[in-house]
Each structure stands twice: as structure tokens, then as C-alpha cells.
Structure 1
Amino acid sequence: MTTPKTHTPDLPDATHDSYGSSFGNEGMFHYQPGVHPISKASMPLHGDLYEHISQLDALDMEELVRLLADDADETIKNKPLSLGDFFEGLAQLATMGVVEVTEIVESMHREIMLRPIGRFNKNNLNNWQGGITGRVYGLVRYIMLMVGNNLASGLRLYKNMATQTSSQPLSHGLKKLVNVFNGVMGDHLVNHSNSLAIPMVLYDADGNLRHEGLSGRIIILCHGLCLSYLSWHPEEENSLGAAISRSQPEATVLYLDYNTGRRISRSGHKFSKLLQSLVDNNPNISQIDIVGHSMGGLVARSALHYGKQDRLDWVKRVGNLITLGSPHHGALLERIGFMVQDIISKVPFASSLAHLGDMRSAGIIDLRHGSIRDADWQSLEGRNVLPQDFRHPTRLPTGVKTFFVASALIETHYDSKVTNLLGDSLVSVASALGEDDGEHNLFVPEGHKAVFYGVNHMGLIHSRRVREQVVEWLLDNGKSDYASRDRIHSYPQSLSLQTEDS
């Protein structure tokens, strides 16, 4: 067992009763399904509190959270968030912010106190938690958790007692804001049973949940990090989904909405199960096509990997996979962020600020190298991923026609390392095209690759040129031999990108 950590905010919600432990009558820790270790009935408010806090050190908290992650998924409602959910989640989230800041302040306090006297080492850091100062910080964290949970519980009670016949749905603006929260800290929201954690669901163009009454060809659009199904602008006539519907009126276009702060592999598992449920409930579905932007393409690949591994029937119905600017081999900005965090962590008296980097979601961390399998992170301590050369290769499934789209900020073709590295400002051209010198190369035929010049990362969703190319691939549906063709290079017809891509 690894050295236990005392980062209590990474535990599930302290008032939630579905995570599984309690203190016995003798003050010892006993694991019991259905009871949380820090419950109001078992946690004293005075001297014995310090004893119980110190006993938490005997647990590997990271391991506990991993064991309970699947159960946490089950607590998320499979319906859209209401306005009541939004305010309830904000109340808890505001308090959790205080807890996180307390954690950073304590880390800096430890370092300032221990480093000058040469005691900034493992043994003294462990002893710190048993000392008066460490216990005071622990008490502050516990009180803030309790206050936040009580506030959230009050809002939940009010919401349940309201005489409204139906919950008021979120406006489009608040919905987009909630998805941003999920992208930045989605795994924390799930671990704390926060009502802001959004479920994975499928919408139609009108914003209605669609899980039944489907047949024929289904085309699913998957959004990227911090975005939502609304990012595709399904209600607009010049959107990608609308263009696909016009070209193939017999097909049904659906939009995946999910928590982009979760591990990509966990989203992959969940997406695979969702698609299998979709096929089970709609046996007349003949074909499934998936278009993923950025992280959405990685989630789709992860779902295909686990669907094939579990021998699920839905995989056999997948015809086309198209990814738009997906970081198949990682995103440059996340790598830079990790390097900065690593440098800060080695600077005396400033290393505690590296905890700020730990607040970013696991989904963002997975983008560092494009990790889409559980094996890329499950064996590691904390919230990390395997180095690029050690991540597990994930081949594309046979029988699925795969197309990769990349973009570059420059408006004319210029083949250089700088152009490739800069890419669309977030993802390099090579990463978006799945190209690698080693075993991670995805071996997509050249005719199945397209580079769009003068388009940034977000522009891939709205670009007319990209839209027309995706529609062409889907409409052709494997009839033409694209594999024998050369790579597609698309250039703007004028310097006015706004006009050209509108």
C-alpha cells in the first residue's frame, strides 16, 4: 500500500451515505457498505475529532476513491440538470473551494516551517498531521465540508418540497457554464456527489433526450473538453448536424453530452454501455456513425476499444469514425502545463503552489498524451498518467472506416516542424492525424486524412469547408476508394476567414 494522503477533499461527499465506511464504537475504522467514514452520527465535535482524523491516515484514500468510482457513476442522475440542481451544486462547490485553498495554505505552512530546519522529509510530513497545527487544519477542512454539505442539503430539501409540477430546466447559457465546470473539475464533482456533475446522455437537435423510437442510420456528434452538445449549434441551419440531416434525411443525428472532466477511459466505458443500451432498446438501428471533436474523438476511440474488448453488439454496426482535431498523441498545452507544475514543485517555498495544478480535472490530464485506456493511469499514485512512451497502444477497430481531420493556423501550405507543432493552436497536425514514429501510429490511409489551413481548433466545429468534407465522407459511406487517394489539403479562398467559413 502506498503512503496515505490526507487530501480529504478528494473523498466523496461527507454527508452522502453511499460510499461505504464508518467508525465503530471503539473508535476504530471499519469498512461498511452504505456508511461514510465521516458521518454526523459518528464524528465528535471536540477532542476525539483529532483522533479520528489521524486514524484516516491509515487508509490509502486514493485507492478508496478508485474502488468507489464505479459506484459514484451510479449516483449520477440520467436526466438533465434542473435549476435546483445548479444552485445546490454551486453551494457545495463554493465551500469546496475554501477546502482546496486551506489545503494549499497548509502545504505552504508545512514547507516554510520544516524546510529551513532540514525537516522537510517524509517522516516529519507524516508527523505534521498528528501535531496540533495539522489537526487544526484538519478541523477547518471538516467544518467547511460540514457547513457546505448542510447548505446543499437545505437546498435539496427545499427543492424536493417545492410545489412545482416539474423542475425548471437550465437555460442554454447556464448549461454551457455547467459543462465548463465539468471540464475543469468534473472528477471532483463526481467524487463529492455534487449535483453539478452531468450525466452522459443523448439529445436530438431540439434538445430532447433520445433513447427510444430509433431505426436506420444513427449519426452521433461528440463534443470536446469543457463544451456541451450545444457547442454544435444544433438549432442553426448552417451547423454540421443540420447539414448532415439535409444530405441524409433518412438518418437521425444525435448529440452526446457528457462530463469531460472524467477520465477519458471511464467516459469510453460509459459511452460503450450507452450505445449497447441504445441498440438493445432499438433493434432496428442498422448503422452507427460517430463524429468526435477534440476529446470527443478520444472518447469514441475508447468506447470502440472497450466495446470490442467486451464483444458488444453495437461495435458491429459502426460504419464510420471521423475525428476533428482530436489529440490522438496528446495536446501540447497540457504538456506545457505539466512541465510548469513540475518546475514549480521543485522550487523551495513555492512547491506547494503546485497543488493548484492538481485541481485540474483528470480528463485534462489524460489529454497530455491522449490516454484512452484504464491501464494508462490505474496503476499510478494520485491523478497522473503514464509517460508517452509507456502508454498502451490502442489500435483502430477493423471494419470501421476512419477519417482524421487536422487544422493549421497558417492559411497556406508550409511544411515545417513549427507549422506541425503549432497546428490549430491546441493540437499538432501529427497528433490530430494519428501519426507517430513507433507503435502508437494509427495507420490511417493518406486518403482518409485532411488538413484545413486557416482554421483554429474551435473553428473545426463551424468551418464550412470542414462541414462539407464530413458530409461528403458520410454520404459516400464507403462507396469510394478514398484510401487510394492523396491526403486532402484545403485552403481558404480568401483572406477573410470569417466570410469564407461562415
Structure 2
Amino acid sequence: MATTQPQTLVRTGDPVDAQIPDAITPAHPEPGLVDALALGALFADELIVATARDTHEAFARRTFDLLTGTSPFGRVTRGIHDAVAGTVYRGLSLGLQGAATGLSKVGATGVGPRLDASPQGRVLQSAVNGLIGERLKEEHPHLALTMTIRVDGRAVRPDPAELEVAFPEATDKVVVFLHGLGEHEGHWNTRAAEMGGTYGSRLAESDGWTPVFLRVNTGLSVAENGVALTALLQELTESWPVRVGRIALVGHSMGGLIIRAGCAVTTEHERSWRDVLTDVVTLGTPHLGADLALGVSHGSRFLALLPEIAGFGRILEHRSSGIRDLERGLPDLPPMEGVRYRLVSAALGSERSPVGAVFGDLLVRRASATGLRRSLRLFPDADVLHVANAGHFALLNHPEVDDALVGWLA
């Protein structure tokens, strides 16, 4: 088996060799509400208290410099102020750190509801992983998500026995769905009652596809998730109840970038999942970057210019590698040969509305979702669908996209 190359190579468009891990879903205690409270206390100290302290100190320093200069009275007054303020902030910090330690110990006993046991808990865990997922993996691994197959919210390991039970009506056509930043697989059920189902259910009914939904730690880098996706799809292909004849990948937002990064990973297998991949569909994916993510990056640098507001910039600097990858997208990664690409964009307002042209779907503009910028045409042979009068999250279950998917994957 080949060794893993540096993840930065995924951005160059060159294939990356990946060592398929023996277990991509290591067992760990399921995190609960108490664990989330412990993390909240820890970050309240690190972000809220620290930001308030640094901002207070910066304003106080400037004020004392202006009003008292270096006079003896000023030095005494400043010393008293600093001592009192320092004591207050240290007390708050120690209190929150103590609470975090205590709650962590209680959480380790399994007390309280599990996050995965409720829709609200799943939303919370997925959102936090999107914001700081890389740090969770390094410092709080019991709270970090791993890439897993999910059926009715339950994790399914990619081995023959579990897959056969989880997919009793498995067919040779597998369509895999990857959600976007801070989401989880349940987001594909958006408006399911109103729409009469989901993309997955309708593809199953119309043409015999078996839908497979993944849950991803979207705070990890796109490159790292791409390697994990390749590993998971290879195990899925080898362990599927029937011989896989065709695979289609559908990604919403960041999910589309992860799919493209996964397609750039090469492995040494006699029969690779890549051999049966026929279609890649991206929905509102920032192939050329997202303005909002780029704005956050510029904002953090601007805030760092003044000590009085630098603390707020440090809050933005805590954003995950996954969020940082949205700033640029994957403009240097070419499409995989022999695979049909289908690109869906959306925008507020009508087809020619200036609002839609400026704001796109509120998160991703049309040019980025379709890989077009000046002389750059990232997907020259792709089928493109533009959905007017729709926001970013409407693409999770939209009638126009539904009709297109059924036609594309026929």
C-alpha cells in the first residue's frame, strides 16, 4: 500500500496516494450533554473571558496613557486598577476551568443524555465540529466526529455483516450523500414531508439506487476528509452486500469539495471504488471559494490591527481548517477523467436579478458554484443547473434539483 503524501498536494490537482486506515471509525464513548457543557465552560474561559480581559486591558492602557501619562499618581492609580481587574479575570478564569474539569469527570461516567440521542444534540455536535473540529480531534477526541455511514442516525460500520443488516434491499447502484459545513446527514430530510421524500428516497423509487448518507467532521481540512472518504468508499465497495456496479456522489456545499478531494486520492486496489464512479453532483459548492469565509479571514486580520479589538480577531482565528478551506475552494484540482459532473447553483431573486448576482445564495455565488471565473472554466463538460429564487439550504431538497437528479442518474 502506498504512503500518504502531504495533504497540500490535494490543492495542486495531482493525485494523492493514501494509506487506507484499518479502522476509520474508532470506538470511543458517545459524548453527552455534560461533555458539551464542559467544553462550553472551557471555551467560555478561552474566548469570552480572555477577550474581555484583553479588550479591557487595551482600553485601560490607552486611557491611562492619555489622562495620567507617567505621573506618580497615574502609576499608583493604574497599579490599583490592574491589580483589581487582574484578580477579577483570574477568578472568572479559574472558576470556569474548575467547572470544565468537574463536568469532564462527571461526563466520563456517562451521566446525562447522549448528544446523538436527540435532533438538537446532533445539530449541536455537528455545528461545534464544523467550527473547531480539528482542535476537538486533537484535544477532545471523544467529542470529535469521525466519518461514518449513518442509517436512522445510527452509525454503521462498513463491514459485510453490518451493511447487510442496515441495507437489506441493497442494489448494485449506490448513491452517497455528503452534507456541508456544520450539518449532519439529517439535513437531507429538509422539507421531506412537503416534498414527499428526499433525493435519496426518490432515486431509490425511480431507478433502483440505494442511498447511503454520511456524517462528517466538517471542521477537518478538506484534504483530510477527502482521504477519509476514499478509505470509507473503498471499504464500502468491498463489503457491500452485492457487487457494486455504479457509484454516484452528491455533495452539498463543502460536501462537494470533500468529494472532489476524495476523487484526487489514489490507492492500490485490484478493484477500486473509483473504477465504478460515474457521476459527481455538487449543490451550491464553493469550488472557487466562498465570500463569507473570505470575509471572516479579512475581518480577523483587520481586527488584529488595534489592541482594543484584537481579542475579537482572535475569536475568528479559532475557526477550523474546514472553514479556512472554504476561502479559496479547490480551483487547481481538475475533474476526474471519465466521470460526469453536474453542478447546481442557486441565487436569491430571478435569473437576472442584481441581488442574486451580488449575493448568490447568500453563501456561495453562481460563478463559484459552477467553477467559472474570467478565463477559468474548471468543469468544461459539466451539466449545469441554476435554481432561481432559492437560498443555499434550499438546495438540500428542491423540486428542480430533484427532477435533475432523476434525469442525470437514470
Bin the TM-score by the shorter chain: 0.7 to 0.9
> What is the alpha-carbon distance in structure 2 between the residues aligned to residue 321 and residue 400 of structure 1?
7
1:410 aligned residue: 349
**Paired residue for 1:223, among 179, 186, 192?**
179
User: Post-superposition shift, 1:351?
Assistant: 2.3
Q: Deviations over 1:144-182 (max 9, x none)?
A: 5565234312321355xx9xxx98951223212221222
Change in CA separation of 1:81 and 1:437 when aligned onto 2, cut-off 3 Å: farther
Structure 1 match to 2:221: 263
- CA RMSD in angstroms comes to 3.6
User: Which structure has the higher relative contact order (CA within 8 Å, separation 6+)?
Assistant: 2
Partner Cα separation in structure 2 for residue 334 and residue 349 of structure 1: 23
1:180 to 127, 130, 137: 127
- Deviations along 1:4-28, one digit per CA (max 9) or x if unpaired, are xxxxxxxxxxxxxxxxxxxxxxxxx
For 1:203, give the aligned amino acid: R
User: Percent of aligned positions with the same letter in both sequences?
Assistant: 23
Amino acid at match of 2:212: L
2: CA distance, partners of 1:301 / 1:460: 19
Match of 1:85 among 5, 8, 32: 32
Distance of 1:442 and 1:154 partners within structure 2: 51
**What secondary structure does 2:245 align onto?**
strand
Q: Return closer, same or farther for 1:274/1:141 CA change in 2, 3 Å cut-off.
A: farther
* Partner in structure 1 of residue 145 of structure 2: 198
How do 1:71-220 residues align onto structure 2 when only pairs under 5 Å count? 78=26, 82=30, 85-108=32-55, 111=58, 145=97, 148-159=100-111, 170-204=117-151, 207=154, 209=156, 211=158, 212-213=163-164, 216-220=172-176
Task: From the superposition, tell whether residues 115 and 457 of structure 1 become closer, same or farther in structure 2 (CA, over 3 Å).
Answer: same
The residue type paired with residue 414 of structure 1 is R
1 or 2, which has the higher helix percentage?
Answer: 2
Of 295, 319, 322, the residue aligned with 1:360 is 319
* 3-state SS of paired residue (1:406): strand
8 Å CA contact 1:265, 1:299 repeated in 2: yes
* Counterpart-to-counterpart distance in 2, 1:241 and 1:360: 32
Q: Secondary structure at the match of 1:89?
A: helix
Query: Are 1:76 and 1:197, in contact at CA under 8 Å, matched by a contact in 2?
Result: no
Please state how far the C-alpha of 1:113 moved relative to its aligned partner: 7.2
Q: How far apart are 1:189 and its partner, in Å?
A: 2.1
List per-residue Cα deviations over 1:341-378 (Å, max 9, x = no partner): 3222223522232112123332222211115xxxxxxx
The CA deviation at 1:100 is: 2.6
Residue 320 of structure 1 aligns to a residue in which SS?
Answer: strand
Residue deviations 1:70-104, cap 9 Å, x none? Answer: xxx9999646984x533223323322321233432
**TM-score scaled by length of structure 2:** 0.76
The Cα offsets for residues 373-426 of structure 1, whole Å up to 9 and x where unpaired, read as: xxxxxxxxxxxxxxxxxxx71111101111101112113x3176x643321121
TM superposition shift of 1:231: 0.5
- Which residue is equivalent to 1:435? 372
2:180–2:254 CA contact under 8 A, matched in 1? yes
**CA distance change for structure 1 residues 167 and 92 in 2, over 3 Å: closer, same or farther?**
closer
**TM-score, normalised to structure 1's length?**
0.63
Within 5 Å, which residues of 2 pair with 1:11-50? none
Alpha-carbon offset, residue 194 of structure 1: 4.9
Deviates more, 1:359-368 or 1:85-94: 85-94
| Structure 1 stretches lacking a partner, 5+ long | 1-72, 118-131, 372-391, 476-502
Count of aligned pairs between the two proteins = 358
Q: Is 1:445 the counterpart of 2:356 in the alignment? A: no
Which residue is equivalent to 2:8? none
